[in-house]
Amino acid sequence: MPGSSDLSLCQVAPGRWTETPYGNGPFFLALAIAFSSTMLALHRSSFLKLAISSAAGTVTLLLLIFGIPMLLLGLQLNFVEGTLTLDWAFHVAVYTLLIGVATGLLTWYVLVRPLRARATSNNRWRGP
């Protein structure tokens, strides 16, 4: 029954719901390893300073740390469900890109820019 909470991930067969095998442990582990490796690489590089210095940098950072894993996850989930087509892969890529850009802009205007302004004003008050 659609919407039932006791079903595992389901796919729609013509006219009925069928259970889908969902053994994705290795895929989620690979995403976690890739994400943590990216965080370590960002922390040790100058890209993080570049990323928080402008809106375009923040958008690029969010596309790297959010967009790529979400794209891979979306494609993999559709592949497992048996619903992945070239048209749907294009839609997943476009939606991931749009959500990553929107998240990056929101992060820039709500979080990064105010924190940078506060840090700048605190540095002025301390003086030399």
Is 74 domain-assigned? yes
Is 96 domain-assigned? yes
**Strand pairing report for 10-13 and 16-19:** antiparallel
Q: What angle do CA 119, 100, 86 make, to 5 degrees?
A: 165
Is 65 domain-assigned? yes
Q: Tell me which of 93 and 27 has the higher pLDDT.
A: 93
What secondary structure letter does DSSP report for 54?
Answer: S
Is 25 domain-assigned? no
Q: Which structural domain range is residue 99 located in?
A: 46-119
Is 52 domain-assigned? yes
Q: How confident is the model at residue 116 (pLDDT cuts 50, 70, 90)?
A: confident
Q: Kindly tell me if the per-residue pLDDT of 35 is higher than 90.
A: no
Q: Exposure pattern of 46-69 as b/e (b: 16+ CB <10 Å)?
A: eeeeebbeeeebbbbbbbbbbbbb
Is 29 domain-assigned? no
Domain count across the chain: 1
Predicted TM-score of the model (pTM): 0.62
